């Protein structure tokens, strides 16, 4: 059997690179996000999905609902698949959070948050692994971070440590993992997190490069020069 994991459709928040880690906020798909789902059936066999799993977030639930069509298959809502808790950065630009993350690392909780980035990834990985308890094939509608982690694992070079910042995951493009491979992948990733072998994209000696889409550096923070302080960088906004 196979588990498909994909990111929800586009929202006005994600289009503007604003973070939302609170499922109580009504962040739904925008028009482009809804339209993109009409083409999803051409990329993988939706008709064969037996179990659908989503986070508690409205955008994930909406994506699953629109992809399912007639709700004949089982739907499971699992809080372990929820987006990262961003604490005081909730609703703000991703780059505000990225500057903090670069300074404090992935094992520290942001102010007002309930988890660190590594703790959030561990939680999501356990949610993905728990999907195997349900009949397959399965489709998980989650968030960009977990999809980015799985894509990195699939494509990484041997011995490559998990970077602190990962390329942005595409919308509604599934990562397919077989039942034979999924437990091994999750175990390897959990061990990677336990070892703490993370790194910045640029390494420790140069400026940190924050990327919010693959191949595009949108901001750099040079910790040596006061003229390049994070507060003076242009951050994405509407």
Q: Is residue 60 part of a domain?
A: yes
pLDDT tens digits for range 61-80: 999 999 987 666 789 999 99
Prior bond to 16 cis, omega within 30?
no
Q: How far apart are CA 187 and CA 176, in angstroms?
A: 17
- For residue 168, name the pLDDT band (cuts at 50, 70, 90): very high
Residue 180: pLDDT over 70: yes
For residue 229, being part of any structural domain is answered with: no
Q: What share of the chain is helix, strand, coil (3-state, %, to 5)?
A: 40, 20, 40
Q: Return the closest-CA partner of residue 179 out of 141, 134, 113.
A: 134
Task: Give domain status of residue 238, yes or no.
Answer: no
Please give the average per-residue pLDDT across 85-100, as a whole number.
Answer: 97
Please determine, for residue 211, whether its predicted confidence score (pLDDT) is greater than 70: no
* pLDDT bucket at 39, cuts 50 / 70 / 90: confident
Res. 166 pLDDT band, cuts 50 70 90: very high
Q: Are 134 and 4 in contact (CB under 8 A)?
A: no
Rounded CA-CA distance 157/160 in Å is 5
Count how many domains the chain has.
1
Instruction: Specify the pLDDT at position 26.
Output: 92
Going by their DSSP bridges, the two strands 2-7 and 138-142 should be labelled as: parallel
pTM for this entry: 0.83
User: Has residue 210 been placed in a domain?
Assistant: no
Mean pLDDT of 83-109: 97
Rounded to the nearest 5 degrees, what angle is found at the Cα of 77, between the Cα atoms of 15 and 124?
65
In a domain, 220, yes or no: no
Per-residue pLDDT at 199: 52
- DSSP 8-state assignment for residue 213: E
Q: Which residues pair with 216 in a beta bridge?
A: 213
Tens of pLDDT, residues 115-148: 999 999 999 999 999 999 999 999 999 999 999 9
DSSP 200: -
Percent of the chain with pLDDT over 90: 72
DSSP state of 41: G
Query: Is 219 contained in some domain?
Result: no
67 inside domain: yes
The confidence score (pLDDT) of residue 86 equals 98
Full residue range of the structural domain in which residue 20 is found: 2-202
Looking at residue 170, which CATH number applies to its domain?
3.40.50.1240
Query: Across all residues in the chain, what is the average pLDDT?
Result: 85
Higher-confidence residue of 70 and 81: namely 81
Q: Which residue has the higher pLDDT, 227 or 85?
A: 85
Q: How large a percentage of the chain has pLDDT more than 70? A: 81
Q: Do the beta carbons of residue 46 and residue 132 sit within 8 Å?
A: no
Q: Check if the beta carbon of residue 83 is closer than 8 Å to that of residue 62.
A: no
Residue 214 within a domain: no
């Amino acid at each position: 059997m196979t588990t498909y994991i994909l990111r929800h459709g586009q929202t006005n928040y994600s289009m503007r690179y604003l973070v939302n880690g609170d499922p109580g906020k009504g962040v739904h798909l925008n028009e482009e996000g809804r339209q993109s789902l009409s083409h999803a059936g051409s990329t993988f066999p939706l008709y064969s999905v037996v179990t659908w799993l989503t986070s508690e977030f409205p955008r994930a639930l909406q994506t699953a609902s629109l992809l399912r069509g007639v709700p004949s298959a089982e739907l499971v809502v699992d809080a372990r698949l929820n987006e990262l808790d961003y604490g005081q950065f909730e609703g703000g630009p991703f780059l505000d959070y990225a500057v903090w993350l670069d300074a404090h690392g992935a094992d520290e909780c942001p102010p007002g948050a309930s988890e660190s980035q590594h703790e959030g990834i561990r939680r999501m990985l356990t949610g993905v692994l728990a999907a195997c308890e349900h009949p397959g094939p399965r489709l998980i509608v989650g968030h960009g971070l977990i999809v980015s982690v799985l894509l990195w694992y699939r494509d990484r070079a041997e011995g490559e440590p998990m970077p602190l910042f990962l390329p942005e995951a595409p919308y509604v493009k599934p990562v397919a993992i077989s039942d034979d491979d999924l437990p091994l992948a999750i175990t390897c990733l959990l061990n990677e997190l336990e070892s703490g072998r993370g790194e910045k994209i640029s390494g420790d000696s140069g400026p940190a490069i924050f990327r919010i889409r693959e191949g595009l550096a949108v901001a750099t923070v040079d910790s040596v020069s006061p003229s390049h302080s994070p507060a003076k960088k242009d951050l994405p906004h509407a």
